[in-house]
């Protein structure tokens, strides 16, 4: 049987098309010569650059590839992504396992790792695993720098507001006055420096004289202190002697007085020693008390007066006592 030229061209074209389709799918992570692979699903808000044909690993060993990435058709999950990936392994893992996206090195791409869990129901093809994302070094640095950036921006805004306020306060006149004040302060400090230098120079020239004067003053002060101490001591001794002498005189006078009283000299001595005089004084005191009592009871017997000028008859001995 003779093969025509047209058949050969058609066969080559079909073969080339089949190889192209197989190669395209192979590069996309699908091998059309192998039986249908077991695929699983996971949901993410952001796949962090994960793409089709990204490797899928378990404990660092590649067990499959990412098959497809599509948007979630659920209206309640708009914008979220569904990742379909294969896992050709005899290792059973449960539906509680985690499908985590992480970076394969600093310059590497994204990899999907299955963090297996062996508790719970064993996962079957078509099951959904929990999606998770592991922050890489750049993401971690970015997350830590974001709050710092916000604070720096806030500080810049506050500094800008402060500068604006200072510009409003420091107008042309204020700046001129402030400059003048600074110049005057500089002049004052220069004058003070000059005075200080002159004073230091004067003290240096008269240092010996000042030292001698201070030494003489110290000597004089010591002499004055000694003289004062001696004078105080003498005054104290003189006062004590005079006081003792006066006290002795007073004691002697008291002794003489007591001796005179004991001997009955003087009025007070006679009063103390003479018993008859004491009795007379006692009787007189008693009679005086009776007289005063009588005057209080019958004052008319001792005092006579008339409201209308009637002549006083005087005291009659026969008047009765009422």
Secondary structure (DSSP) of 70-132: EE---GGGTT-EEEEEE---S---BTT-EEEEEESSSSS-EEEEEE---SSSBP-TTPEEEEE
Do 111 and 159 have their domain in common? no
Pairing state between β 61-71 and 81-86:
antiparallel
Please tell me whether residue 59 adopts helix, strand or coil conformation: coil
Domain contains 316 = no
- For residues 271 and 288, give the distance between their C-alpha atoms in angstroms, rounded to a whole number: 19
Do 54 and 68 have their domain in common? yes
Do 147 and 162 have their domain in common? yes
Do 41 and 118 have their domain in common? yes
- For residues 124 and 13, give the distance between their C-alpha atoms in angstroms, rounded to a whole number: 40
Domain contains 250 = no
229, two tokens = 């101490």
Do 58 and 89 have their domain in common? yes
Q: Would you tell me how many other CB atoms lie within 10 Å of the CB of residue 103?
A: 18
Q: Are 123 and 116 in contact (CB under 8 A)?
A: no
Domain contains 252 = no
Domain contains 248 = no
Please tell me whether residue 301 adopts helix, strand or coil conformation: helix
The alpha-helical segments, DSSP class H, found in the chain are: 5-27, 137-169, 172-205, 207-263, 266-273, 275-297
Do 102 and 54 have their domain in common? yes
Domain contains 220 = no
Do 147 and 75 have their domain in common? no
Do 94 and 126 have their domain in common? yes
Do 100 and 154 have their domain in common? no
Q: Would you tell me how many other CB atoms lie within 10 Å of the CB of residue 269?
A: 16
Q: Which domain holds residue 273?
A: 264-301
157, two tokens = 């805004």
Domain contains 72 = yes
Do 105 and 153 have their domain in common? no
The domain total for the chain is: 3
Q: Which residues of the chain have pLDDT under 50?
A: 308, 312, 315, 319-322
pTM, full prediction = 0.37
Do 153 and 75 have their domain in common? no
- For residues 160 and 152, give the distance between their C-alpha atoms in angstroms, rounded to a whole number: 12
CA 129 to chain centre: 52
Q: Which pLDDT does position 116 carry in this prediction? A: 92
Structural domain ending residue among the three candidates 126, 150, 169: 169
Domain contains 117 = yes
Q: Are 82 and 69 in contact (CB under 8 A)?
A: yes
Do 98 and 42 have their domain in common? yes
Pairing state between β 81-86 and 39-44:
antiparallel
Q: Would you tell me how many other CB atoms lie within 10 Å of the CB of residue 84?
A: 15
Contacts of 216 (CB under 8 A, 6+ apart): none
Residues in the chain: 322
Domain contains 163 = yes
């Amino acid at each position: 049987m003779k093969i025509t030229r047209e058949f050969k061209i058609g066969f080559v074209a079909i073969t080339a098309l089949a190889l192209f389709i197989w190669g395209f799918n192979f590069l996309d992570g699908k091998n059309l010569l192998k039986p249908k692979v077991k695929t699983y699903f996971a949901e993410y808000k952001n796949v962090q650059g994960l793409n089709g044909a990204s490797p899928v690993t378990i404990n660092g060993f590649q067990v499959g590839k990412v098959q497809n990435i599509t948007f979630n058709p659920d209206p309640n999950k708009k914008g979220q992504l569904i990742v379909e990936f294969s896992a050709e392994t005899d290792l059973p893992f449960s539906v509680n396992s985690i499908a985590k996206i992480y970076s394969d090195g600093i310059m590497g791409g994204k990899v999907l790792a299955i963090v297996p869990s062996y508790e719970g129901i064993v996962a079957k093809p078509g099951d959904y695993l929990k999606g998770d994302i592991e922050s890489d070094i750049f993401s971690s640095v970015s997350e830590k720098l974001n709050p710092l950036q916000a604070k720096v921006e806030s500080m810049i805004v506050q500094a800008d507001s402060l500068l604006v306020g200072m510009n409003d306060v420091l107008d042309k006149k204020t700046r001129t006055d402030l400059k003048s004040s600074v110049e005057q302060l500089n002049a004052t400090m220069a004058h003070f420096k000059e005075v200080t230098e002159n004073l230091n120079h004067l003290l240096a020239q008269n240092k010996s004289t000042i030292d001698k004067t201070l030494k003489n003053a110290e000597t004089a002060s010591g002499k004055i202190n000694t003289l004062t101490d001696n004078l105080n001591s003498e005054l104290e001794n003189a006062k004590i002697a005079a006081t003792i002498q006066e006290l002795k005189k007073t004691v002697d006078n008291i002794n003489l007085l007591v001796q005179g009283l004991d001997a009955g000299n003087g009025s007070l001595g006679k009063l103390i020693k003479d018993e008859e005089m004491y009795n007379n004084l006692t009787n007189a005191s008693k009679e005086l008390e009776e007289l005063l009592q009588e005057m209080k009871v019958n004052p008319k017997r001792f005092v006579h007066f008339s409201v209308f000028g009637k002549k006083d008859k005087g005291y009659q001995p026969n008047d009765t006592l009422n």
